[in-house]
A and B are shown apart, each in its own frame.
Chain A
Amino acid sequence: MSAPLLEVNNLQMHFPVREGLFLRARAFNRAVDGVSFNINPGETLGLVGESGCGKSTLGRCITRLYTPTGGSIHFAGQDITQMRARRLRPLRQDIQMIFQDPMESLNARHTVGDILEEPFIVHRIGDRLWRRKRVAELLNIVGLPARSATRFPFEFSGGQRQRIGIARAIALNPKLVICDEPVSALDVSIQSQILNLLVDLQREFNLAYLFIAHDLAVVKHVSDRVAIMYLGKIVETAASETLYREAAHPYTQSLIAAIPVPDPHRRAQREVLRGDVPSPINPPQGCSFHPRCPRAEPQCSATEPVLAPLADTHLAACHLLARNG
Chain B
Amino acid sequence: MALLEVDQLITEFATDEGLVRAVDGVSFEVEAGATLGIVGESGCGKSVTALSMMRLLPQPMGRIAGGSITFQGTDLTRLDIPAMEKVRGRRIGMVFQEPMTALNPVHTIGRQLTEGMLLHKVCEPANALRAAADMLDRVGIPSPDLRLGEYPHQLSGGMRQRVVIAMALACEPDLLIADEPTTALDVTIQAQILELIADLQRRMGMAVIMITHDLGVIAETCEQVVVMYAGKVAEQGSVFDIFDRPAHPYTRGLLASIPRLETPAKSRLGVIEGMVPGLRDLPIGCRFENRCEHAIDRCREQVPAPELLAAGHTVSCLRWQAL
Contact = CB atoms under 8 A, between A and B. Distances in A.
Interface string B108-140: 000000000000000000000000000000000
Contacts of A218: 259
Contacts of B150: none
B190 interface: yes
Contacts of A240: 265
Nearest to B272: A189
Given A157-B275, A264-B240, A267-B220, A188 B257 contact: yes
B168 interface: no
Interface in B253-295: 253-273, 275-276
Q: Which one of A188, A217, A273 has the highest number of Cβ atoms from chain B below 10 Å of its Cβ?
A: A188
Interface string B211-243: 001111111110000000000000000011001
Q: Which one of B186, B192, B263 has the highest number of Cβ atoms from chain A below 10 Å of its Cβ?
A: B186
Interface in A169-199: 187-193, 195-196, 199
A189 B243 contact: no
B211 to A, nearest CB: 14
A221 interface: yes
A139 interface: no
Interface string A270-292: 10111011000000000000000
Contact of B188 (A157, A261, A273): A273
Nearest to A279: B156
Interface string B242-257: 0110000000011111
B76 interface: no
A262 B220 CA distance: 7
A262 B266 contact: no
Given A196-B268, A260-B217, 20 more contacts: A187-B213, A188-B257, A192-B257, A192-B269, A195-B269, A196-B269, A218-B259, A221-B265, A221-B267, A259-B216, A259-B261, A260-B191, A262-B258, A262-B260, A263-B243, A264-B219, A264-B220, A265-B240, A267-B220, A273-B188
B275 A190 contact: yes
A258 B253 CA distance: 25
14 contacts: A187-B276, A188-B41, A189-B257, A191-B257, A196-B268, A214-B186, A220-B265, A221-B267, A260-B191, A261-B219, A262-B260, A265-B240, A272-B192, A276-B156
A273 B243 CA distance: 27
B322 interface: no
Interface in B24-71: 41-42
Q: How big is the A interface, by class?
A: 35 or more
Contacts of A192: 256-259, 269-271
A272 B195 contact: yes
Contacts of A267: 219-220
Nearest to B214: A260
B265 A260 contact: no
A129 to B, nearest CB: 33
